[in-house]
Amino acid sequence: MKYKAIKEELKDNPKKWLVTGCAGFIGSNLVETLLQLNQTVVGLDNFSTGYQHNLDDIEKNVTDEQWKRFNFIKGDIRNLEDCNKALSGIDFVLHQAALGSVPRSIDNPINTNDSNVTGFLNILTSAKDNGVKRFVYASSSSVYGDSQELPKVESRTGNLLSPYAVTKMVNELYAGVFYKTYALETIGLRYFNVFGKRQDPDGAYAAVIPKWVSSLLKEGEVYINGDGETSRDFTYITNVVQANILAATATNEQSFGEAFNTGIGGRETLNNLYHAINEGLAKNLSDFEMKKAIYRDFRAGDIRHSNANIDKIKQLLGYVPTHSLKAGLEESLSWYINDIKGKK
């Protein structure tokens, strides 16, 4: 498997990485894996959606020597000076910092644009000016908009349905232009509903899996938007970490300036997902009682069905998902249980 070989190679030849949004869900998982591979990592975060406790958790999961290789900068991608400070001497950028969530963007499109477009252009420009070798960034399956095609193929998108989707499409356009104009090697990863440890279950814009688990454990109401037959390509965090590292170290020039679906190539309905979560919790907790969900209106801006065609990322980057939805749920449910019960 290519990923295994790349990890061994990185251990022998460490690089210097910048992870933006390092205190967030995906960013913190990237930092942890890189440190465990003995890489030197700079983290940039303004704590708008990230947390210090995520960084503290990383420290517990790496050795003292590995932790010494991490340098945290509290800063904001909307500030070009902060970007330049973070990018000094960096080989690879894994850009995760953004304001996520379709509903959040509908509620406040200006804030979303400020972080996701202005901030993106700042960090991209700074990467160019600082001679970074590779710029990998988080895009989103939301760029497929109202496309009815399944599975989703990178070259065919539909009409965008939210300000968030617009910002991610703009990111892809800028990245493509920077590769063609400045020869900055950019690669975008269109994430499909990522889940796993350190995903925040609280707040109005929490992702569905941790939010449902939290509500079930706290014996609160659980809501499903629409009829529950909306489907998603739920992707475990370990697969996303693999995709980022493969993208950063890719040698195939056909991958530069491109965007890749990052999922598992599967599709599950919300109804089936909810049943699987209930079964998983019952398996882990002897006193857990399954609960019926409450159905409400469809949510504005949501795509009806989402399913990634992952042929392109397999062929050009050597990506092979290691975790199915079932395997990812088995690993993450125990983490969610410990995290949520620990906060009670």
Reported confidence tier of residue 321, pLDDT bands at 50, 70, 90: very high
CATH superfamily ID and name for 2-192+237-265+304-323: NAD(P)-binding Rossmann-like Domain (3.40.50.720)
pLDDT given at position 344: 55
SS3 295: strand
15-27 pLDDT, tens digit per residue, is 999 999 999 999 9
265: Cα within 13 Å, side-chain hemisphere: 12
Q: Average of pLDDT values for 301-319?
A: 92
Mean pLDDT throughout 152-169?
93
With beta carbons less than 8 A apart as the criterion, state whether 168 and 141 touch: no
How do the residues of the chain divide into helix, strand and coil, expressed in percent and rounded to 5? 45, 15, 35
274 catalytic? Reply is no
Q: pLDDT tens, 185-200?
A: 999 999 999 999 999 8
Catalytic position from the list 3, 137, 144, 164: 164
* pLDDT score, position 342: 64
**What percentage of the chain has pLDDT greater than the value 90?**
81
**Would you state the pLDDT for residue 290?**
87
Give the per-residue pLDDT at 240.
98
Residue for token pair 């050597």: 318
* pLDDT tens track for 206-226: 688 998 998 898 888 899 999
**Taking a C-beta distance cutoff of 8 angstroms, is the pair 81, 7 a contact?**
no
Residue 142's closest CA among 232, 202, 78? 232
pLDDT at 305 over 90: no
Q: Is the pLDDT of residue 341 over 70?
A: no
The closest alpha carbon to 335, from 214, 219, 174, belongs to 214
pLDDT confidence of residue 338: 84
* Helix or strand holding residue 70 (H, E): strand 70-74
Residue 343 above 70 pLDDT?
Answer: no
What are the angstrom distances between the C-alpha of 179 and each of 86, 89, 187, 191, 200?
21, 20, 9, 21, 34
Instruction: Give the pLDDT mean for 59-79.
Output: 97
Token couple for 282: 């019952």
Q: What gap in Å lies between CA 86 and CA 119, rounded to an integer?
A: 14
298-334 per-residue burial string, b: 16 or more CB within 10 A, e: under 16: eeebbbebbbbbbebbbebbbbebebbbeebbbebbe
Percentage above 70 pLDDT, the chain: 98
**Which DSSP state fits 116?**
I
Listed by start position, the domains of the chain span: 2-192+237-265+304-323
Coil, helix or strand for 49? Answer: coil
Question: Residue 84: which H helix or E strand, with range?
Answer: helix 80-86
Residue 203 confidence class, pLDDT cut points 50, 70, 90: low
